[in-house]
Amino acid sequence: MSWSPLQAQEQTQSQTQAQSQAPAPAALSGLARFDPETSRVADTNGGVQVDLDLSQGVPYRAYTLDAPKRLVLDFREVDFSTLSATRLLQGDKVLAVRAGKIRPGWSRMVLDLNAPLVLRSANMAIDRATGRAALSLWLEDTDADEFAASAGVPDIAGWAPPKPGEGKPPVARDPHGPLRVMLDPGHGGIDPGAEADGAVEKELMLSFARQLKEVLLRGGDVEVMLTREDDHFVSLERRVAIAHERKADIFISLHADALSEGGARGATVYTLDPDASDAASRALAERHERDDLLSGVDLSQSDDVVADVLMDLARLESRPRSDLLARAIVLALREEQLPVNNHALRAAGFSVLKSPDIPSVLLELGFLSSESDRGNLLDEEWRNHMAVAVADAIRAWAIADEAAAELVRQ
């Protein structure tokens, strides 16, 4: 990666913004609460409008069932204890409502319909600042035939409520398997990356990735994969796709930048700036198979709205996990007294960090433009020291991540 000092400054500013806007990680392990004040189910001209407000976004699905006619909403998981039918229902087309927990981690709301209605749209909007979610559904008056044809439980893999004992969130890593680490040596082939005084980024990053792989493998219970094993070009999107195809638990992109001016030195760890991500990741989703992008949830049969919401939710869950990984790396480097940049933790819209569900960081090992960093990077023993520190950080992260996942699973 390379940019001018001016761009580097912008990245620092957007990091501050990202931190202030990111929902607190704790909100993810808590229950979403139904808000009776602002939620309504109202008859309209030609149908029924359903507006449900929740304290946080959760994956959901909506469908109708026949005999008797009803609208079913499944959520993971919502506290409906404040639900009042007289308050929620504003009309005659919906006769009754009931809601509650159907099994651990899953809640359901059922609206009994007085007339045939077909579900035309569903949208969950999540407020980036507060994390609150507004679910809006539009049902249109229809005839008995169309109602019967449209009714039924959608067959979307990954959406069946889990069998007893299977409370695992869809995007957490498998705690029983080895940790699957994807290392991404930057650049390659026709793209050399930064070059300074005979040092070439693509070569040094491949050497470092191989060293880090060896150090990690010595520790056991880990699988290490590289997005490129030799000197060939791999597109940024391909790197992300490889991580998904190989079902990586974490993704670490390796770089060593060169700046034309300023005395920048030391390691820097980047996480994704969420404000720079949405349009790009939607385009990415369109170009790749959708079920590649969210492991555990097959989106190939779900509509755009649901896909969007799930991408956001997966990112809400993976963002704190990426942040934790970035912090673990910086901490380990400091403990080993390896050179760390003054602004060691940053956020940017790098394409390789755009996996919604794989914790991803980009590690700039140092600046090739700095004489001392360049000397370090060219020194095999120094690189090995660095590899030991990063491997320690990965292991520390895995332990903390597993503990956090246990809390989510309860």
* Residue ranges binding Zn ion (CB under 5 A): 1, 186, 193, 255
Q: Chain-centre distance of CA 138, in angstroms? A: 28
Strand partners, 252: 183, 361
* Rounded CA separation 18/143 (Å): 48
Instruction: Output 1 or 345, the one with its CB closest to Zn ion.
Output: 1
Distances (CA, A) of 146 to 73, 117, 141: 20, 9, 10
Name the 3-class secondary structure at 210.
helix
* Rounded CA separation 73/153 (Å): 11
**Can you spell out the DSSP letters for 141-205?**
E--HHHHHHH-S----TT-SPPPTT----TTS--SSSPEEEEEEE--BTTB---EETTEEHHHHH
- The minimum distance between CB 219 and Zn ion, in angstroms, equals 27
- The minimum distance between CB 322 and Zn ion, in angstroms, equals 19
Residue nearest to Zn ion (CB): 255
Cis, peptide link before residue 164, omega less than 30° from 0: no
Instruction: Output 1 or 171, the one with its CB closest to Zn ion.
Output: 1
* Rounded CA separation 271/353 (Å): 7
- The minimum distance between CB 197 and Zn ion, in angstroms, equals 16
- The minimum distance between CB 382 and Zn ion, in angstroms, equals 19
Instruction: Output 1 or 41, the one with its CB closest to Zn ion.
Output: 1
Instruction: Output 201 or 401, the one with its CB closest to Zn ion.
Output: 201
**Cβ within 8 Å of residue 301, ≥6 positions away:** 154, 155, 156
For 78, the token pair is 């919502």
Instruction: Output 1 or 276, the one with its CB closest to Zn ion.
Output: 1
Instruction: Output 222 or 352, the one with its CB closest to Zn ion.
Output: 352
Instruction: Output 34 or 350, the one with its CB closest to Zn ion.
Output: 350
- The minimum distance between CB 257 and Zn ion, in angstroms, equals 6
Contact yes or no for 117/141 (Cβ under 8 A): yes
- The minimum distance between CB 29 and Zn ion, in angstroms, equals 36
Strand arrangement of the beta sheet that strand 94-103 belongs to: 60-65, 70-75, 106-113, 94-103
- The minimum distance between CB 2 and Zn ion, in angstroms, equals 7
